[in-house]
């Protein structure tokens, strides 16, 4: 089951706001519709956003009436700007856009440019699945039989095209017979851990227990967590990593309790242009995400709310990165980017 697919001249994606109640797919017929789906969190997760961005351009290309390559490029660039304004933190979204645009630019004429964008969107999706499987294999070796692994938010199938990064590691270890148990933090405000991670793991009969975000310290103090594996949205050259808000708190707690803290992410999540995490743009989302819960007000009127969607975990808290090229410590990141 793919989280997102290009089918004909439509992008078909699972509406993640409806889970766990309903497994519903929505169709997007334009870049604008894909952009709205991204803004509304129908699709989220850094690797999935790379595919969504490229597919948005593919749909634009397929529906374009442009008769010249230049005209098509202008339409694609306009669509790309719209997609680029949706969410600032996950670098993969911009990588997906740039790959699709570059493919079009390199083509000799309008017909081949159109085909190249579509092909590149498909390539990104297929690569994502392959890369996640490799991340899974590489990370599974770090997990021991019977480990209890804590994960935050959702870095699973639903955050990617399929298989997942952090949950890919857990899946691979599970399939290798390691009898892994998972603790999923519910991940306020949008509850991706409770709604999405628990749903994915339950479908595959991987044992999962949901806790609130505030319980992590207690669980670690009780010795109930063996390892932490999470995903990332953007990783700076020095290894500082942005991920869903709450990740940094978990990393500090892991260090305090001697629990290894791993980030599973494809190379496309690394942004070597940024020296440190201080340069990563952090999205602030609408306060209503915290104020209302499915329409019920939980914060009194007139009270302000702060709603950053991500935080940055400094490299010193990260035991290692699990990538498709292997497991790499923060101090050794430059290895990954040598040609």
Which residues here bind a copy of itself, judged by CB under 8 A? 20-21, 152, 183, 185-189, 191, 194-195, 198-199, 201-202, 207-219, 221, 245-246, 248-249, 251-253, 256, 290-291, 293-294, 296-300, 302-308, 311-312
Structure tokens at 240: 């500082």
Residues 6+ apart with CB under 8 A from 60: 30, 31, 75, 76, 79, 117
Residues 6+ apart with CB under 8 A from 235: 241, 242, 263, 265, 269, 270, 271, 321
**Closest to a copy of itself by CB, 121 or 251:** 251
Was 316 annotated as part of a binding site? Answer: no
Q: For residue 142, count other CB atoms closer than 10 A to its CB.
A: 19
Was 45 annotated as part of a binding site? Answer: yes
Was 244 annotated as part of a binding site? Answer: yes
Q: How far is the CB of 206 from a copy of itself (least distance, A)?
A: 11
260 touches 229 (CB < 8 A): no
Pairing of β 148-151 and β 181-185: parallel
Choosing from 128, 162, 233, 311, the catalytic residue is: 233
Was 85 annotated as part of a binding site? Answer: no
Q: What is the distance between the alpha carbons of residues 187 and 244, in angstroms, rounded to a whole number?
A: 8
**Closest to a copy of itself by CB, 104 or 309:** 309
Q: How far is the CB of 40 from a copy of itself (least distance, A)?
A: 18
Q: How far is the CB of 49 from a copy of itself (least distance, A)?
A: 21
Specify whether 233 is catalytic: yes
Q: How far is the CB of 142 from a copy of itself (least distance, A)?
A: 24
If residue 227 lies in a helix (H) or strand (E), which one and from where to where?
Answer: strand 227-230
**Closest to a copy of itself by CB, 129 or 153:** 153
Q: What is the distance between the alpha carbons of residues 120 and 140, in angstroms, rounded to a whole number?
A: 30
Was 192 annotated as part of a binding site? Answer: yes
Residues 6+ apart with CB under 8 A from 206: 170, 171, 174, 180, 182
**Closest to a copy of itself by CB, 19 or 172:** 19
Binding-site residues from annotation: 44-46, 87, 192, 243-244
State the catalytic residues.
233
List, as residue ranges, the binding site for substrate: 44-46, 87, 192, 243-244
């Amino acid at each position: 089951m793919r989280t997102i697919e290009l089918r004909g001249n439509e992008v078909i994606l699972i509406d993640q706001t409806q889970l766990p109640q309903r497994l519903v797919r929505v169709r997007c017929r334009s870049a604008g519709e894909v952009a709205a789906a991204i803004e509304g969190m129908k699709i989220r997760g850094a690797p999935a956003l790379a595919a969504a961005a490229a597919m948005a351009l593919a749909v634009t290309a397929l529906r374009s009436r442009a008769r010249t390559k230049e005209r098509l490029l202008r339409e694609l660039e306009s669509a790309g700007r719209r997609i680029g304004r949706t969410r600032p933190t996950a670098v993969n979204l911009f990588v997906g856009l740039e790959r699709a645009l570059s493919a079009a630019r390199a083509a000799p004429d309008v017909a081949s440019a159109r085909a190249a964008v579509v092909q590149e969107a498909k390539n990104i999706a297929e690569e994502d699945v392959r890369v996640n499987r490799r991340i899974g294999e590489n990370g599974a070796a770090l997990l021991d039989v019977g480990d209890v692994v804590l994960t935050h938010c959702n870095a699973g199938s639903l955050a990617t095209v399929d298989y997942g990064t952090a949950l890919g590691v857990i899946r691979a270890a599970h399939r290798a017979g390691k009898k892994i148990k998972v603790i999923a933090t519910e991940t306020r405000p949008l509850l991706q851990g409770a709604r999405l991670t628990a749903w994915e793991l339950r479908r595959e009969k991987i044992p999962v227990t949901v806790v609130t975000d505030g319980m992590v310290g207690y669980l670690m103090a009780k010795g109930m967590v063996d390892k932490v594996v999470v995903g990332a949205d953007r990783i700076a050259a020095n290894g500082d990593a942005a991920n869903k808000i709450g990740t940094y708190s978990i990393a500090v707690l892991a260090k305090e309790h001697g629990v290894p803290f791993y980030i599973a992410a494809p190379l496309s999540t690394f942004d070597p242009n940024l020296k440190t995490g201080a340069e990563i743009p952090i999205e602030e989302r609408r306060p209503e995400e915290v104020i209302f819960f499915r329409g019920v007000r939980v914060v009194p009127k007139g009270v302000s709310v702060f709603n950053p969607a991500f935080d940055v975990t400094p490299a010193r808290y990260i035991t290692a990165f699990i990538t498709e090229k292997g497991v790499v410590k923060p101090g050794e990141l430059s290895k990954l980017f040598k040609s």
